[in-house]
Amino acid sequence: RKEVEQDPGPFNVPEGATVAFNCTYSNSASQSFFWYRQDCRKEPKLLMSVYSSGNEDGRFTAQLNRASQYISLLIRDSKLSDSATYLCVVNDHAAGNKLTFGGGTRVLVKP
């Protein structure tokens, strides 16, 4: 089983719609969680951290479910510019702050 698993997609989303997708992780000792965004042929960039209580940044909402070991990302009012691959990242502090990336979920927002 992969340490961090994501549905590769693509999720085809009409502009203005809401899309949500999850990421599951296998290491229950994982302590920090993040979503990174990667545009085609570009480097990953931090989108947001994921806190236990859930957090929101504009149209983006991230949530963590430790009991079921998954995190989620929801995008409201999708824009064409939201088209990208969203990488789920898990940090295991006990392993020396090792970041493990999921394979990414591809989102395509269409007019």
Partner 1 sequence: EAGVAQSPRYKIIEKRQSVAFWCNPISGHATLYWYQQILGQGPKLLIQFQNNGVVDDSQLPKDRFSAERLKGVDSTLKIQPAKLEDSAVYLCASSTPRGPDEQYFGPGTRLTVT
Residue for token pair 């859930």:
54
**Closest to partner 1 by CB, 6 or 24:** 6
Gap between the Cα atoms of 79 and 1, Å rounded: 34
Instruction: Please state the closest distance from residue 74 (CB atom) to partner 1, in A.
Output: 20
Minimum gap (Å) between residue 7 Cβ and partner 1: 13
Nearer Cβ to partner 1, position 15 or 39? 39
Q: How many CA atoms lie within 13 A of 103 on its CB side?
A: 10
Question: Three-state DSSP class for 89?
Answer: strand
- In whole angstroms, how close is the CB of 62 to partner 1 at the nearest point? 14
The site for partner 1 (CB under 8 A) is made up of: 4, 6, 8, 32, 34, 42-46, 49, 87, 91, 95-104
Q: Which residues are 82's β-sheet partners?
A: none
Closest to 111 measured CA to CA, from 15, 33, 32, 19? 15
CB of 50 to partner 1, least distance (A): 11
